[in-house]
């Protein structure tokens, strides 16, 4: 009896699956007949998906693409240029409609992207002004660095009468991030000239940044302000501050991204005091990316250079973004 029931169930399931596929195929035919395109096929390669803001934005983008019947593949290059080139080649071989690239080493991906565009694939560049891209989604990184420095300097001038020891967590291997770090240094000199930068360390991800921050505090126990190029580094610094018993009202960490973890720390009155939000939340960023790649896919005109807006989030306005 059980065997008979299972056989009947299997037939029903196969029938349902066949009907579903047939229905989907029929709908696609309708779309094509009406002169519209079916859902787009998107391939995306990101420098490092341990970055919570990048990961959250990609997750939101996935929802938007799939909601309209598209296909979305997101790959983590883990900071490896060779891996990223291989990922892009796979996207080309799989005949995606749009490639989104968050380049590890911008010059290294140019030849592969040139091949992609020659095959009719549209290219969206996240953060880098790549020659072989149809749209570049950019940040004025030097200006962003100065904006981070301004939030840090306001803290220094208020809490430390303009003078204290400062550490900077940077990642100068990436040209665009180096620009941001340069902006932080220039901004601190301009807005808090009496503050002393005693350490500049390289941090790529949370684990590396935590190690760097521990070393900085051992060498410079009087550091009261940490300026970071990104939110993941701010989160790392905040964890070290708490773990080493340094969480006091006069210590402050400042960065960009305004990730959920940063906002949570601000809400709890931890060491992260402010972060610069870029474009908006991961949801608003994903909507902007989706709108642009959809226009590319549909052959509509799109401005090539899109500059993202940014502004500070702190204890006064963080609730708007949680």
If DSSP codes are grouped into helix, strand and coil, which group holds residue 201?
strand
Which H or E run contains 72? strand 71-76
From first CA to last CA, the distance across the chain in angstroms is 55
Return the domain boundaries, the chain. 38-138+281-308, 141-278
> What does DSSP assign to residue 66?
H
| Cα Rg, the chain, nearest whole Å | 24
Tens-digit pLDDT string for the chain (322 aa)? 323 333 333 333 333 333 333 433 443 344 343 333 568 999 999 999 988 889 999 999 999 999 999 999 999 999 999 999 999 999 999 999 999 999 999 999 999 999 999 999 999 999 999 999 999 999 999 999 999 999 999 999 999 999 999 999 998 887 888 999 999 999 999 999 999 999 999 987 889 999 999 999 999 999 999 999 999 999 999 999 999 999 999 999 999 999 999 999 999 999 999 999 998 888 999 999 999 999 999 999 999 999 999 999 999 999 988 7
Chain centroid offset of residue 2 CA: 52
For residues 88 and 77, give the distance between their C-alpha atoms in angstroms, rounded to a whole number: 10
Topology agreement, domain 38-138+281-308 and domain 141-278 = yes
- Token pair recorded at residue 42: 């998107």
For domain 38-138+281-308, the CATH superfamily is: Response regulator (3.40.50.2300)
d(CA 295, CA 272): 38
Q: Residue 18 and residue 8: Cα distance in Å, rounded?
A: 15
DSSP, res 38: -
DSSP character at residue 295: H
CATH superfamily assigned to domain 141-278: Response regulator (3.40.50.2300)
């Amino acid at each position: 009896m059980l065997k008979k029931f299972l056989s009947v169930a299997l037939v029903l399931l196969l029938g349902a699956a066949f009907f579903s596929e047939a229905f989907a195929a029929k709908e696609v035919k309708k779309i094509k007949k009406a002169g519209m395109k079916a859902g787009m096929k998107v391939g995306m390669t990101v420098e490092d998906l341990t970055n919570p803001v990048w990961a959250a934005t990609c997750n939101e983008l996935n929802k938007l693409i799939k909601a309209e019947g598209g296909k979305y593949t997101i790959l983590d290059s883990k900071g490896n240029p060779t891996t990223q080139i291989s990922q892009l080649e796979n996207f080309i071989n799989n005949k995606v409609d749009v490639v989104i690239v968050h380049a590890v080493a911008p010059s290294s991906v140019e030849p592969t992207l040139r091949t992609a565009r020659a095959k009719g694939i549209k290219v969206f560049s996240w953060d880098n002004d790549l020659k072989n891209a149809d749209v570049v989604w950019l940040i004025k990184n030097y200006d962003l660095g100065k904006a981070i420095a301004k939030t840090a300097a306001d803290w220094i001038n208020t809490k430390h009468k303009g003078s204290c020891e400062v550490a900077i967590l940077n990642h100068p291997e990436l040209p665009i991030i180096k620009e941001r770090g340069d902006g932080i240094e220039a901004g601190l000199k301009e807005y808090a000239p009496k503050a002393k930068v005693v350490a500049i360390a390289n941090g790529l991800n949370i684990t590396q940044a935590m190690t760097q921050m521990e070393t900085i505090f051992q060498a410079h126990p009087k550091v009261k302000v940490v300026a970071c190029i990104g939110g993941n580094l701010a989160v790392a610094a905040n964890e070290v501050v708490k773990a080493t018993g340094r969480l006091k009202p006069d210590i402050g960490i400042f960065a960009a991204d305004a990730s959920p973890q940063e906002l949570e720390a601000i809400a709890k009155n931890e060491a992260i005091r402010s972060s610069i939000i870029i474009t908006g939340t991961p949801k608003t960023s994903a909507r902007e990316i989706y709108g642009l790649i959809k226009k590319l896919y549909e052959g509509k005109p799109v401005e090539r250079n899109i500059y993202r807006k940014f502004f500070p989030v702190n204890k006064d306005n963080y609730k708007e973004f949680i």
